[in-house]
Amino acid sequence: MTIDIISVVPDLLNGPFSHSIMKRAQEKELLKVNVINLREYTTYARAQVDDYPFGGGAGMVLMIEPLVNAVEALTKEKIYDEVIFLTPDGNTLNQQMANQLSLKNNLLLICGHYKGIDQRFRDHFVTKEISIGDYVLSGGELAAAVLTDAIGRLIPGVLNDETSALSDSFQDNLLAPPVYTRPEVFRDWKVPDVLMSGNHKLIEEWRFDQSIKRTQERRPDLLDDLKK
Ligand code: ADE
């Protein structure tokens, strides 16, 4: 899968894909992340990409021309399954959306900045609008990094058996159960006996019960979704 990300601050995206699972996914050539500098696609002086909003008001708006220049240049090379604009007024990201997007071949992510992007670009080029939560970030880059990570780790072959996404929280609308590792006793805090029993059936049952309990306590809304 290829994820191309258009940004006015491409350096912000240097770190997130250069380590750990995202790095390995790229080394295995299961994922390719390209960060594209929007300023390379403007025809305005001094690499200008934003301007004052018509009608007045605070903040700057990303202009449509550089965005369209960038998208049209990129679509000469490949066809995108989705052009996704990261924005606080988009649909809130969840595991189901990440699962669906992980099945695509080519995604183009657009990071907004300042007060947003010209609505005409959203109307004519964007196919999905995604928010990563009900709070406002300074730009879409961190949101694009979150989305790319959530999708990238689900691509078949990226995770091994030990880190399998199947046991993640949310995969079955349940939160993950608690986990423990060595030492078996720290201070006087002991690991639950069942985990030391070697009885895999009992351990699975315990984990399932713990998942249900944790979900009931922390996210009862997820159980309501299950009943629908
Ligand atoms: N850009 C700014 N805030 C955002 C958010 N919460 N989600 C996605 N993109 C954003």
The crossing angle, in degrees rounded to 10, of helices 20-27 and 141-152 is 60
Q: Which of 131, 141, 142, 149 has the most ligand 1 atoms within 8 A of CB, as the residue to mutate?
A: 131
Q: Could you tell me the residue range of the domain that residue 108 belongs to? A: 2-152
Residue 86 Cβ contacting ligand 1 at under 6 Å: yes
Q: Kindly indicate the confidence band of residue 227, based on its pLDDT and cuts at 50, 70 and 90.
A: confident
- pLDDT of 162 > 70? The answer is no
Query: What is the 8-class DSSP label of residue 139?
Result: B
Give the per-residue pLDDT at 18.
95
Residue 52 sits in the same domain as residue 147: yes
Whole-prediction pTM = 0.94
At 163, the pLDDT band (50, 70, 90 cuts) reads low
Q: Which residues does 169 contact at the CB level (< 8 Å), separation at least 6?
A: 175, 176
Query: Is the beta carbon of 143 within 6 A of some atom in ligand 1?
Result: yes
Q: Mutate which of 8, 132, 138 to test ligand 1's pocket (most atoms within 8 Å of Cβ)?
A: 132
| C-alpha dihedral sign at 27, 37, 99, 226 | positive
Is any atom of ligand 1 closer than 6 Å to the C-beta of 140? yes
- Is residue 21 within 8 Å of 152, Cβ to Cβ? yes
Mean pLDDT of all residues belonging to the chain:
95
How many domains does one find in the chain? 2
Rounded to whole angstroms, how far apart are CA atoms 7 and 108?
11
pLDDT tens readout for residues 180-216: 999 999 999 999 999 999 999 999 999 999 999 999 9
In a domain, 157, yes or no: no
Per-residue pLDDT, 27: 97
Predicted confidence at residue 161, as pLDDT, reads: 66
Q: Clarify whether residues 128 and 192 are in a common domain.
A: no
How far apart are the C-alpha atoms of 200 and 195, rounded to whole Å?
A: 9
Same domain, 134 and 59: yes
